[in-house]
Amino acid sequence: MKRSLFRRRRKPAFTIVELLVVIAIIGLMAGLTMPTLQIGILKAQSTKCAEQLRGIGAAVLSCATDNNGVLPEINQTAPPLPYPSTVPGIVGVLGSYGVTTNTVQCPIDMNQGATSSFKQYGSSYEWNPVLDDGTDPVTAIPVGPIQITVNCSRIRVCTDFLPIHRGKMNALYGDGHARAR
């Protein structure tokens, strides 16, 4: 009877094989979820880009309100320049309305390396007001003293330089909304 009192009980433990199998299963599951995680990150960055465009849109609307409903003259940063070279770019015109160099940096564009539009032109967004009737080609809005009356939601004022959002470009419209197209 004394012997049974002093007998050591062995605690159950993992073997090395069981531990390696668990690690392999965890690695396999992580490998399967990585593409989904990357897609989620790209969607989040695309949403941040659209939100930045909406911020630019709010600044454009404020500037237009201060100028009797007329959209500001803003030089796009890539040639051909639609306005004289004396007209500043997005940050120069809308800086007093809260637009900064951080506002004109698309997160996905910043990941493009040397081909980044921001690194080439100083902005990830191209200012190019056009009448967007939902079909291509779009009609260019005349630059200069000509005035036309159009529903603001049809005027696409600013877009990404390239379709970097899963083959689409985020676009800002004259009424302040932004969407992928």
pLDDT of the residue at 84: 66
Q: Give bridge partners of residue 156 from the DSSP assignment.
A: 130, 173
Distance CA 82, CA 80 (A): 6
Provide the 3-class DSSP secondary structure of residue 159. strand
Which burial class, exposed, middle or buried, applies to 59 when counting CB atoms under 10 A from its CB (0-12, 13-18, 19+)? buried
pLDDT of the residue at 137: 47
Distance CA 42, CA 39 (A): 5
Indicate the pLDDT class of residue 34, thresholds 50, 70 and 90.
Answer: confident
Distance CA 111, CA 97 (A): 27
Q: Among residues of the chain, what percentage have pLDDT more than 90?
A: 13
Is the pTM here over 0.85, yes or no? no
Q: Which amino acid belongs to residue 107?
A: P
pLDDT of the residue at 32: 86
pLDDT of the residue at 55: 92
**Integer CA distances (angstroms), 124 to 78, 104, 108, 152, 155, in order:** 10, 6, 9, 23, 19
pLDDT at 81 over 80: no
pLDDT in tens, 113-138: 777 888 888 888 888 888 776 655 44
Which pair of tokens denotes residue 58? 């709010």
Which pair of tokens denotes residue 39? 């897609």
DSSP-derived secondary structure letter, 168: B
pLDDT at 94 over 70: yes
Average pLDDT in the 149-178 region? Answer: 84
Q: What are phi and psi of 170, to 5 degrees?
A: -80, 140
Average pLDDT in the 35-43 region? Answer: 86
Q: HSE on the CB side for 48, CA within 13 Å?
A: 16
